[in-house]
Every structure is written in C-alpha cells, then in structure tokens.
Chains A and B, each alone.
Chain A
Amino acid sequence: MSIELIGWWLMAAIAVVSAIGMLSARNPVHSVLWLVVNFTSLAVIYLIHSAPVLFAIQLIVYAGAIMVLFLFVVMFFMSPQARQWLRPALKGQLVLGGILVVAFLLLIIWGVGASGMGIVFNTPLIEGASLATDLTAGAGMGDPRPLGWWLFSNHVLPFELTSLLLLIAMIGALMVARDLKSEGRAIVPETAPVVSDEDDEQEVLA
C-alpha cells in the first residue's frame, strides 16, 4: 500500500465522519466547523490525486473565505449554549431523505463500477504518479498555468458572466440590507444578543 493510498483512505474516512458531524451537530457553529474539516480533507484528497492547485484553491476559497463568511453570519445568531437538534420541517422528511441517500449511494457504487474506476481501491491512483514527484516537479496537473490559460481563453465568457452574476448578487444584497431611513447615521442594533443579561448576573452571584 503506497503512502498516497493510506492518505486517501484516511482523508476519505475524515471526510465521511465530518460530513456526518456536520449534519448531526447540535450547534450550527459546530456544523460550520465540521464543514471546514470536510473541505480541508477534500483538499488533501485533491492533493493526493496530483492536483495541488485545486488543493490550494479549495483551501483558500472554500475552507478559508466562504466558510469564514458562513461562520460570521452563524456566529451572530448562535451562542455556544445554543442547541438545535435535527428538527424536520416537512412531514416524513427524514424517511424520504434516507431513501434518497440510499439511492444516491447505490448510484455512485453503480457508476464507479461501470466506469471501471473501481481499480482505484487496489492500485496506485495514477500510473507512475506519486505525490513527491508531483510536488517537486510542479508539472503536469499541478501546474496552474494551463488552468489560467483555459479560464481566460476558451472559457472567458462563462468566467466573466460568473463575475457579473456575483456582482448582481452583491448589489442585491446591499439593496436589501440598506436602510434608507438611517442613511448616514450609525446603525444601532435594537435586539439584544442571544444570551440574556440575567444569566450572566446569576453566574456572577453563583
């Protein structure tokens, strides 16, 4: 068993465990953090699959930027004491979800089997490739230049459209968040944070 394969199994296990943790965590902030762990383990899997650039992008964009934003929003509303157990909003949601999960798993297993990629489980991932040579040579799939080249030549229209889409979403969010009445004044939050003052005082007395 090569180091790559051991690493892959380790990361796969971490990814699955963290995904389950994300779903079952009782505090939403914990869910966000489980997701960060999940993204990080995915990033390492990319690295094992000889794609260091994807690894770095996954770290910077997903585990770094996006999840920090998630955390920012969730932290505002959740105290460390907050507990929310899986509460289905729809009737029979859990059952339906379970059926879908099983169906999806079967689909994946069938797809992997049919495509002949099942080989992955008992041979090195890519013939002749190893993490060490990829990292030191920096060539092949690890090279960021082909990515940039394709992004800015063949796929420049979708690329620019995506940025336009993000810009529109940002302007929309600004318009929603902007309170025209309080324009030019400091915005004072009217609602108290989640933890009430009484609890704190009691703790001091206790």
Chain B
Amino acid sequence: MPQDILLILVRGVILVVVCLTAFAYLTYLERRVLSWFQWRVGPNRVGPWGLFQPIADGVKAILKQELIPRRADKVLYLIAPIISFSAAFTMFSLIPVGERVFLTDLPIAVLVFLGLSSLAAYGVILAGWSSQNRYSFMGALRSIAQVISYELGLGLALMVPVMIVGSLKITDIGNIYRAETWHPAYLFVLLPAGVLFLVSAMAETARIPFDLPECESELVTGFHTEYSSLKYAMFPMGEYMGMSAMCAIAVHFFLGGYLLPAIGGVDLTNWVGLIVGNPDAVWGPQEGYWTVVSLSALGLSTTLTFVAKTLFLILIFMWIRATEPRFRYDQLMQFGWKVLLPAGLVLVFLAALFVVLMPDLGGGAQSTMEVSMYVPR
C-alpha cells in the first residue's frame, strides 16, 4: 500500500509539473500562432525565438503588486482562482495519456469529468461576484448562463460514444478505434458528435468566439478585472488547462485516443507492441528487460501520438480564435438552446438507433447482453 501511494504521488507530481510547463508554453504558442495569423511578429526577443518569454511573464506576474479591492468579499475573492485552477487540473488527472500511461482510469471517468467541468464554473462565477465590480459581475452572470446552456451540448455529445461503446471508462471508448473493433459506420454518428463536442467545449472553456465572460471590448476583462499578480495568472492557467483537458477528451472520444494510426488495416499500435515485445506481457509476471523496453516503447509512442493529436486540436482552437469574431450575447443563447441542444438530442437518438439496429458493432450490444443479468425477476 505505501508503495502504491508513493507511486500515485510521484505520478501526480509529474502530471502537475508537465501541466504547468505545458501551460507556460501554450501561452507562448498561442501568442506566436495569433501573431502569425495576424501578420505580425509576436514575442521573439526573450531568448532564442522568444522561447524564454513564458518564464519572463511568470516572473513578472509573481513580482506584481497584489491588489485586493477593499469592498470585495475577501475569502471568496481568494478562493475563486484556486477553484478554477484546481478543477481544471483535476480534470486532467482523469485522462489517460498513453497505453498503460495514466494517473487514474476510473470506470465512471466521463461522469466525473462532466461534474468537474461544471464545478470549474464556480471559480469564474465567484471571482466576478466577489470583486464587487459591475464589469466583473456582468462577466460572472454571462458565465453562468453560458455554462448552463453549453453544458447540455457537451454532455449529449459525450454520451454518443458512451452509448455506442457501452462504457463510461475513457480507455474503453478509445479502444473502439483499434483496427479490430473499428467500423466505418461509426463515422455517421461519431463525426457530428465530435463537431458538437468541440463547439460546446469551446463555449464551456470560454474561448474566443464564446468569450463573453471576459469580452474585453465591453467588460474591461470581465470576471477577472479586479485580479492582479499570481491570482490573475491562475485564471489563464485554469483556462488553458481546461481547454487542453477538453481537447484531450475529444482526442480520446473522437480522434482515436492515443492509438497510432492504422495504415492499410495494420494497426501501428499493435505493430509497435509486437516489434519490441508482447504488450500483454507488460504488466505480466515476468520482470525483464523486454518488459521495460516494450513498456517504454509502447508508452512513449502512444503518449507522443496522444500529445500530437491534442496539440492539433488546440491549434484548431487557436486558429478559430484568430479568425472568428465574438458572438453577440443573444446569438450565443440562441445558438446554444436552439441549435446545439436539439442537435445533441437528435444525435443521441441516432446513437440509440445505431446501437439497436446494428447490435454487432461495438460494445453496445455486449452491454445490453450483460445488462440482462440485472433484469428484474
């Protein structure tokens, strides 16, 4: 037991360190990509190609004076950034990043993920309310309305692969993309669900076409107007981590997870496993050189694939940020309730039809068979 706890702690620390570094360089990436899109230079002075810019920004954020509005609700004002920051990090801890490389792989991970994404909204809401500033308050109100509206689309989009696979475990859902279980017919339901998920995720994390809680042209900077120094920095941290977690989940659900691409019916993931050793023997009884090699090769290649796919989605998010103008508030609500929600319901209906009509595909059929064990007598 103590070794287990130690192992979990070490993995957790690695996760936090990797995530913080990733956050720093995501801000750099975003600034470079945006400037590239907008035909300007971007940060290129600090270090080679401006690579030390995030470090300089971090130091600057730490050294700034901390201001707390005198009439703010101090306790909530201090707690709010912690909530949005830690919720986003916890979301990340649910996600496997490679074959057998994960912190947790809960059987109800999807539900916990949805729960955390709604808890993350408290950070933004409380920040806006406790600062005692009209602009912040407007930002908080918008944030609540937006989160309530788009959570529905998000949940419904995630339910489509869940229904097809018949499991709430993230690795189970990623496994549908293996060469043995994949069938092109899945595309008919998974592709629209993926688009729906990405749009809802963008709104849920308040990225630019949906960034009405911040909306610098109307609300100064919205809910975090009154924040300074590190407390301010925690909001972008939460935002970027939330965005990355959403992209990572999207990769698992709609882009084949950490699996390497299958070329000509040959699953490269299996191929890597076969070349360096039987992947099933990895956690097996034999503790040998090959186990380590196959573990590292398989884990490393899948992890890199996963990171590449996630980065690809993040780049799409940045691309959209660079090109799309912000929604108007009423458009936002109309779009959420009159387009995304009905679309999600239709998709869930289609997925149910799919599971019923094609019982041979995927785990949906399997789960109905297993469920018959619980038939009331």
Residues of A within 8 A of B (CB): 27, 29-30, 33, 36, 52-53, 55-57, 59-60, 63-65, 68-69, 71-72, 75-76, 79-81, 135-138, 142-146, 148-150, 153-154, 193, 195, 203
Q: Say yes or no: is B326 at the interface (Cβ < 8 Å to chain A).
A: no
Distance between Cα atoms of A8 and B169 in the complex (Å): 26
In the complex, the answer to whether A59 meets B71 with C-beta atoms within 8 Å is: no
Q: Choose among B76, B111, B140 the residue with the greatest number of A CB atoms under 10 Å from its CB.
A: B111
Task: Compute how far the CA of A68 lies from the CA of B376 in the bound complex, rounded to whole angstroms.
Answer: 36
A79 touches which one: B107, B122, B132 (CB < 8 A)?
B132
Q: Are B115 and A63 in contact, CB atoms less than 8 angstroms apart?
A: yes
Nearest neighbor of A143 in chain B, beta-carbon distance:
B107
CB within 8 Å for A203 and B70 given contacts A68-B148, A75-B141, A138-B107? yes
Q: CB-CB < 8 A to B73: which residues of A? A: 27, 29, 80
Which label, helix, strand, loop or mixed, suits the secondary structure of the B interface? helix
Question: Chain B: residues with CB nearer than 8 A to chain A?
Answer: 70-73, 76, 104, 106-108, 111-112, 114-116, 118-119, 121-122, 125-126, 129-130, 132, 134, 137, 140-141, 144-145, 147-148, 151, 166, 168-169, 367, 370-371, 374-376
Give the contacting residue for A60; candidates B104, B111, B132, B144; CB below 8 A.
B111
**B107 → A minimal CB distance (Å):** 3
Q: Are B107 and A75 in contact (CB under 8 A)?
A: no
Contact B132 A195 (CB under 8 A): yes
The complex places the Cα of A57 from the Cα of B374 at a distance, in Å, of 21
Which residues from B are CB-within-8-Å of A57?
Answer: 111
Choose one: B104, B119, B147, B371; the contact of A146 (CB below 8 Å).
Answer: B371
A68 touches B118 (CB 8 A): yes
Nearest A residue to B144, CB-CB: A72
Which B residues touch A52, using CB under 8 A?
A: 106-108
CA distance A55 to B112 in the complex (A): 8
Residue from B111, B140, B166, B376 in contact with A75 in the complex, judged by beta carbons closer than 8 Å:
B140
Most chain B CB inside 10 Å of its own CB: which residue of A79, A80, A154: A80
A69 in contact with B148 (CB, 8 Å): yes
CA distance A81 to B76 in the complex (A): 12
Q: Across the interface, which residues of B come within 8 angstroms of A63, CB to CB? A: 115, 118-119
User: B112 contacts A68, CB within 8 Å?
Assistant: no
Specify which of B104, B108, B125, B130 is in contact with A53 (CB 8 Å cutoff). Answer: B108
What CA separation (Å) do A175 and B53 show in the bound complex? 55
Q: What separation, in Å, do the CA atoms of A150 and B71 have in the docked complex?
A: 52
Contact, CB under 8 Å: B374 / A53? no
Complex Cα gap A145–B370 (Å): 9
Of listed A33, A57, A68, A142, residue having the most chain B CB within 10 A: A68
When the two chains form the complex, which single residue of A56, A145, A153 contacts B111, counting CB atoms closer than 8 Å? A56
Complex formed: what's the CA distance from A72 to B147 in Å? 11
Q: Verify B140–A81 contact, CB threshold 8 A.
A: no
Bound CA span A137–B107, Å:
8
Q: Establish whether residues B107 and A59, one from each chain, have CB atoms under 8 Å apart when the complex forms.
A: no
* Closest CB in chain B relative to A197 CB, distance in Å: 10
- Most chain A CB inside 10 Å of its own CB: which residue of B71, B114, B169, B367: B71
Residue of A nearest to B110 (CB): A56
